[in-house]
Amino acid sequence: MNGLHRWPVRVASLLAAVAVWHLATAADLRLWVRFDRFPGPVEVVREFGRQVEQGQFWQDVAQSLVRILSGFALAAVLGVALGVATARSRWAGDLLQPLFEVARPIPAIALVPVAILLFPANEQGIVFITFAAAFFPVLVSTRHAVKALPVVWEDAVRTLGGGRWRVLVRVVLPGVLPGVFGGLSIGMGVAWICVISAEMISGDFGVGYRTWQAYTIVDYPGVLVGMATIGLLGWLTSASVELAGRRLTRWLPREERS
């Protein structure tokens, strides 16, 4: 189906959800779930309009973005590097794999106390938690992608005169990109969950901190503005990752791209 024809459906889906929300709150609906004290879209949009005119809103957005982008960039670089290393070197695998397997099941948000103990500044702790969240999806998907590489690509480069290092740069790194981007997409998602949660627990700024702050002063429209902001930022960053992934993996056969 043509992409242009699909947009009206997508927009209509969003508008329908907003319309249901508006009707439910306007009618003070109480059907087990209660909408009588829930702010409606009009209130939220008005509050949003008020906030975007203030410097604080943009400061919070910038702060959260800096945190997530630093944590995510660290996770992407180390996740790919260590994923390739543990998959291709028995030595690195034996050394690091047990450590990763033990650390992986720990939810990143449970690391908040650890982060507070370890890092002198709050800021570094939050970046660390974001990093920990995004790191494992990237690591695991890179490992799987390396293991799934067709042997014939590596063999071809070796019989054309490529050594271990050349094979790494010319075969492994480009070849694992489709798998790596799968991990990066998931990593971006969990990174947002963790940066917001960490900000709610220990931040002084940031969208998560502001959202929790609004809740404690019973500013419900403010809470929803925070959530909408998180939603928009998350969508924007995920879409960037998707776009970069599609750009870099144009060579994939069509049925694998979609």
Partner 1 sequence: MSGEAQRRVWGVDPPQGAGRGLSLRAERVTLGYGGRAVVRGLDLDVAAGEILVVVGPSGCGKSTLLRAFAGLLPAVSGRVLADGEPVGGASADRALMFQDDALLPWRTARRNVELALALRGVPRRERRAAAERWLGRVGLGDDAGRLPRELSGGMRQRVQLARTLAAGPRAILMDEPFGALDAQTRASMQRLLLDVLADAPATVVFVTHDVDEALLLGHRVVVLGPAGVAAEFAVPASRDAVLAALGAGDQLKEAV
CA distance 19 to 102: 47
Helix, strand or coil, per DSSP, at residue 206: coil
Among 38, 153, 215, 220, binds partner 1 (CB under 8 A): 153
Q: Do 67 and 75 meet the contact criterion of CB atoms below 8 Å apart? A: no
CA distance 66 to 152: 42
For the CB of residue 90, give the shortest distance to partner 1 in the complex, in Å.
16
Among 81, 174, 244, 246, binds partner 1 (CB under 8 A): 174
How many residues touch partner 1 (CB under 8 A)? Answer: 22
- Residue 55 vs 161, nearer CB to partner 1: 161
For the CB of residue 240, give the shortest distance to partner 1 in the complex, in Å.
21
Among 30, 147, 166, 246, binds partner 1 (CB under 8 A): 166
| Sign, Cα dihedral of 20, 23, 26, 29 | negative
Does 251 interact with partner 1 (rule: CB under 8 A)?
yes
Does 252 interact with partner 1 (rule: CB under 8 A)?
yes
CA distance 115 to 106: 13
Q: Do 75 and 195 meet the contact criterion of CB atoms below 8 Å apart? A: no
For the CB of residue 108, give the shortest distance to partner 1 in the complex, in Å.
33
Query: Which spans of this chain sit near partner 1 (rule: CB under 8 A)?
Result: 152-153, 155-162, 166, 170-171, 174-175, 177, 249-254
